[in-house]
Structure 1
Amino acid sequence: MDWDDMRVFLALARVASLGRAGQVLKMDPATVGRRVSRLEGHLGRRLFHRSHQGYALTEDGLRLLPHVEAAQAHLSAAETPNDTGAGLSGQIRLGAPDGCANYLLPQVIARICADHPALEVQIVALPRLFNLSRREADMAISVSAPQAGRLHVQKITDYHLHFAAAASYLDRHPPIRQIADLRGHSLIGYIPDMIFDKELDYLANLDLHAARMTSNSVPVQLNLLRQGTGLGVVHDFALPHAQDLRRVLVPVFSLTRAFHLVRHADDLRNARLRRFAEALIVGLRDQVARLEQAVAQADDQANSENP
């Protein structure tokens, strides 16, 4: 088999589009299609389902994928045996929940790309889990650590969440000093049947009525809160982006969650992805710590001004 055809197969498996695969490979999309068809003819099996939505791997394609990925990892390791520290280049697709993608990753990825001008990073911000076996992304950030699949999971950092509301909302209501005081308030949160990770069901163990305004999007929830329409559970790291919101019940109610970096096991020997992962982890840890510290300092200042 021609390794170049395998390279084309791998690119198409990862992006599911002839046009995007052509951009990655710097190749005409029609040539990508012909090369894949040639490979299918050589193997005597269909590797992709074709549709208007794009190219999806067949069962035969899914069986072939890990072998091609392993071969690519070996070649990458052979090309950079000493991991010399040269600048990163090429395209990396990173999946992340939208809270992380909106309020943490832009700053972190901007710094990484500034250090590596030849690097192209795609941030896929979706409120769902990513399937790395189907190459929806090269790596993904998750809240819960996956328990199945040939995956490598590394904890990045803890982060914290508290109830928050707009100052205008809090000014119109009596002080909130305990959980019971939340009864009768308008709550904002996730759409219950669209919570894709149990760690995001923040209100599950509280004796409160269901949220009245809901969204599967963290930024939408944050913007609903900014309208002065109610209270909701908010990532501390998001609050510097919404300085009109105030934390409440800080001594009484606090949640701790963690971000994990999830990679396909076959990619661990890929020096380029490994170095990107290391920079990403360091950047996210620093960013969460910096933003949470800023929120705590703002609270201390507000408390000193309004004892």
Structure 2
Amino acid sequence: MATAIDHLDWDDLKLFLIVVRCKSVTGAARELKVSHSTVSRRLARLEYTVGGALVERTRDGLLLTPAGLVTMRRAEEIENGVNALRSDVSNRDEVRGTVRLATMEGIATLYLSERLVELSSRYPDLDIELVTSPQTVRVARREADLFLSFFKPHGTALDSQLIGRFKTGLFASQAYLERNGVPSQAADLREHRFVGYIEELVQLESVLWLEELVPAPTIAFSSNSMMSQMFAASAGAGIVALPEFARSLKLGLIPVLEELSGEREIWMSAHQDLAYLPRVRAVKQFVKTLVRRDEQRLLGNAPWSR
């Protein structure tokens, strides 16, 4: 006896994946160039077919239900199989389509953005979406195709690789140091003012580089944005702790007590089902090569050039 699942439409599954990736019916309708009601109707038809709700509507967008997560994973398996078949029958690996790379604001803005132009030039049919997030991005839930982080993410079905490291240190403007003096030893820092993160808004401990270098700093200016911290320190607000790649912006910040430094790892993560796709593999390999090429700069052993 036939059941609803026997009439499953692959086109509805493809639509569902787009809804998941856009995190909204409106976004999916815009991408598919169809009406909002058409997407809602087909999503409801798929929910009837699988026998339960697939998404929940929240202020932050659509969230997957347990049934939705299972359906998404099976739909991705089918999608990956179709993509693999397309590659097999064409006898070539075409780097085309969209890859969403998620990471922190600082490394996205100060390091990756301008360098990804080279990748776009190399693959004209590749659309790169660079997403910044102050928290862990769950590639297993298709919030991104790739996640560049300062720690190894936890989760099942993740392909995570340690691809590099970078140094962190203290910096201040010339004006601040002329006004407050140049610290010559760690004990002198008790007399200085600092720029840092708003403690209760920090969602990733890996960005707490100031507290790692200076116990109980006196905070004069705080922000949940590393970029805002940089510009405030450049204007003389206080001493700031920054990753080495921040020096590429050349804001006139001067290293302070260079013997006080920290180090962070750089991890690249992808879902195991997506890691082999030509477009994902191309972006992953490019970023790995980029970090390897800039190893000495990221560790503070070579100057940055623009």
User: TM-score, normalised on structure 1?
Assistant: 0.87
1:110 equivalent in structure 2: 117
SS in 1 for 2:139: coil
1:304 equivalent in structure 2: none
- The question of whether the paired residues in 2 share the 8 Å contact of 1:101 and 1:125 is answered with yes
2:172 equivalent in structure 1: 165
Unpaired segments ≥5 residues, structure 2: 1-7
- The question of whether the paired residues in 2 share the 8 Å contact of 1:74 and 1:269 is answered with no
SS in 1 for 2:227: helix
1:260 aligns with 2:267: yes
How much does 1:198 deviate? 2.4
> Of 165, 178, 182, which aligns to 1:175?
182
SS in 1 for 2:206: helix
Find the aligned partners of 1:288 and 1:57 in 2 and give their Cα distance. Answer: 39
Find the aligned partners of 2:188 and 2:113 in 1 and give their Cα distance. Answer: 37
How much does 1:82 deviate? 9.0
SS in 2 for 1:46: coil
Q: Provide the identity percentage.
A: 28
Find the aligned partners of 2:90 and 2:271 in 1 and give their Cα distance. Answer: 20
Where in structure 2 are the equivalents of 1:53-92 lying within 5 Å? 53-81=60-88, 88-92=95-99
- The question of whether the paired residues in 2 share the 8 Å contact of 1:240 and 1:295 is answered with no
1:213 aligns with 2:217: no
Find the aligned partners of 1:117 and 1:297 in 2 and give their Cα distance. Answer: 28
Stretch of structure 1 that moved more, 135-144 or 193-202:
193-202
CA displacement 1:206-255 (0-9 Å, x = unmatched): 444342321121101101101111101111211121331111111x2111
Stretch of structure 1 that moved more, 261-270 or 178-187:
261-270
Where in structure 2 are the equivalents of 1:135-214 lying within 5 Å? 135-205=142-212, 206-214=214-222
Unpaired segments ≥5 residues, structure 1: 299-307
Which one-letter code corresponds to 1:148 in the other structure? G
1:244 equivalent in structure 2: 252
Find the aligned partners of 1:128 and 1:52 in 2 and give their Cα distance. Answer: 17
Q: Against the structure 1 CA distance between its residues 287 and 297, is the aligned structure 2 distance closer, same or farther, given a 3 Å change threshold?
A: closer
- Equivalent pairs counted in the alignment come to 297
Q: Against the structure 1 CA distance between its residues 49 and 199, is the aligned structure 2 distance closer, same or farther, given a 3 Å change threshold?
A: closer
How much does 1:202 deviate? 2.1
